[in-house]
Structure 1
Amino acid sequence: MSDNLTGTTVLVVGGAKNLGLAIATRAAELGAHVVIGARDGDAAQKAAATLPGARGIAIDVTDEATVASAAADLGAVDHIVSLAAAHHNVAVADLDHDRTVTAFEAKVIGPLLLAKHFAPSMPASGSIVLFSGVAAWKPSPGKAVMGITNGAVSFTASHLAKELAPIRVNAVSPGIIDSGTWDGMPDSDRAALFDGVAGSIPAGRVGATADIVDAATWLLTAGFVSGETIHVEGGARSA
């Protein structure tokens, strides 16, 4: 295994901000030609402009036409990282059908469509990294859709790994990460959340962006790892 991505093309879906942009940045540092995909094509291009030689493209995994168009436009890519998500965190009694379907489209159906349209032109050394999450293993009221869709991502990775072989397919399952996702909360609420998480898990802290970036980029080059879900959550499943 090498952490050198020189000469490869890495498509990061959901790469315009936070963890996605951090992964795209690391891939570029490791020598990859990076393509940032996002529903908002302008946001994708703006993010790409911050990285040498990167390109931004509009791609919405809940809209197959945009996936097909992106695949035709880009041609062969070596690696895909998909961080797409559409949260619907409400009690089961308050579920909205369409938002529930969209959550599954983002986390499960979208990756299947990425595989459908991109895998035929990917090299045997290629890989796909999907994003699950600790909510799948820690049931919580009001988080059923998040937990179920994240759990389904793990099975998506293992099934795609079998069907697309030798292309490798894996998933990263983060815990609570200080990645920018929580920045919309009041500072005191965010600090209380982080302190509570840190005090309840073996690692004694919340995750850092680098923790997830390290795992995702390792999977891009870990040639003997496929069909796996890598848990990067500080031991939260055992807490």
Structure 2
Amino acid sequence: MTPTARSSSEEFRSGQTTLTGATVLVIGGAKNLGLAIARRASELGADVVIGARDLDTARRAAADIPGATGIRIDVTDEQTVEAAVAELGAVDHIVTTAAAHHNVPVAELDHQSVVTAFDAKVIGPLMLAKHFGPIIAPTGSMVLFSGVAAWHPQPGLSIMGITNGAVAFTVSHLAAELAPIRVNAVSPGIIDSGTWDGLPDADRSALFADTAQTNLAGRVGRPDDIVDAVAWLLTAGFVSGETIHVEGGARSV
């Protein structure tokens, strides 16, 4: 009998549950990719904590994941980071998907919106490292989120590109400073994760079709593509200071 083919995610889930007993905090875990990451971490045996700016939102998302809990944490508000550290006491891994987009032409930039974008992608993770560093297990890690826009400059997307590019340097420096705690980033391409659901159907279809034509994989990304990469980084004990590109080869086109 010919064995039934399995997806990479099925193979990963059927392997060793290397997150068993670990506490994984997923900031931005109440929706879209963050929620998918939280669910996978739970499937791999982790005790999941979902962090969101609104506590009720975090708790509602956690209610759908066995054993998960919710906590209020806003990476742009250092006091909430400090409070989360005091409440949790110890964690093994942190994943943050936080972002604050400011996609306008340079001539229309708003100073505070630019600062908020850097808060979400760079300054916030630095504050996470500052306060959580002492309570992350030595075998633990942080996973930040960059994005393909950093490597594809386009008018109107400068702040997205610059902040995502800064994430790559952030993980390199934090990895050196927090060692042996590992710090890495995932850089997604265009992913059909729910993020684009607010677009009109025709615009979303056009975006996905263009994406499929302008990367080497010939398709738009799926949530499992990103979740698989994050799950691997959480368990890859010899990987630190790296940005893992999950964008179908879009940088090569």
Q: Which among 49, 72, 76 is matched to residue 58 of structure 1?
A: 72
Asked if residue 68 in structure 1 is aligned to residue 68 in structure 2, the reply is no
Distance 2:169 2:190 in 1: 21
Cα offset, 1:39, TM superposition: 0.6
Match of residue 18 from structure 2 = 4
Distance 1:2 1:144 in 2: 41
Cα offset, 1:42, TM superposition: 0.9
- Conserved 8 A contact 1:14-1:84: yes
- Conserved 8 A contact 2:171-2:183: yes
- Conserved 8 A contact 2:17-2:45: no
Distance 2:244 2:16 in 1: 18
Q: Deviations for 1:188-208, whole angstroms, at most 9, x for unmatched residues?
A: 111111001101111000100
Asked if residue 33 in structure 1 is aligned to residue 47 in structure 2, the reply is yes
Match of residue 180 from structure 2 = 166
Q: Could you list the structure 1 runs, at least 4 aligned residues long, displaced by more than 4 angstroms after superposition.
A: none
Distance 1:40 1:203 in 2: 37
Residue 176 of structure 2 aligns with an amino acid whose one-letter code is K
Residue 238 of structure 2 aligns with an amino acid whose one-letter code is F
Q: Which among 100, 122, 143 is matched to residue 129 of structure 1?
A: 143
Distance 1:2 1:219 in 2: 14
Aligned counterparts, 1:1-239, within 5 A: 3-239=17-253
Percent identity over the alignment is 74
Q: Deviations for 1:74-128, whole angstroms, at most 9, x for unmatched residues?
A: 0110000010000000000000000000000000000000011111011110100
Runs of at least 5 residues in structure 1 that lack an aligned partner in the other structure: none
Residue 18 of structure 2 aligns with an amino acid whose one-letter code is N
Larger Rg: 2
Cα offset, 1:2, TM superposition: 5.3
Distance 2:156 2:78 in 1: 29
Question: Please, which moves more after superposition, 157-166 or 116-125?
Answer: 116-125
Q: Deviations for 1:164-183, whole angstroms, at most 9, x for unmatched residues?
A: 00000000000000000001
Cα offset, 1:3, TM superposition: 4.7
Equivalent residue pairs, number: 239
Residue 56 of structure 1 aligns with an amino acid whose one-letter code is G
Residue 83 of structure 1 aligns with an amino acid whose one-letter code is T
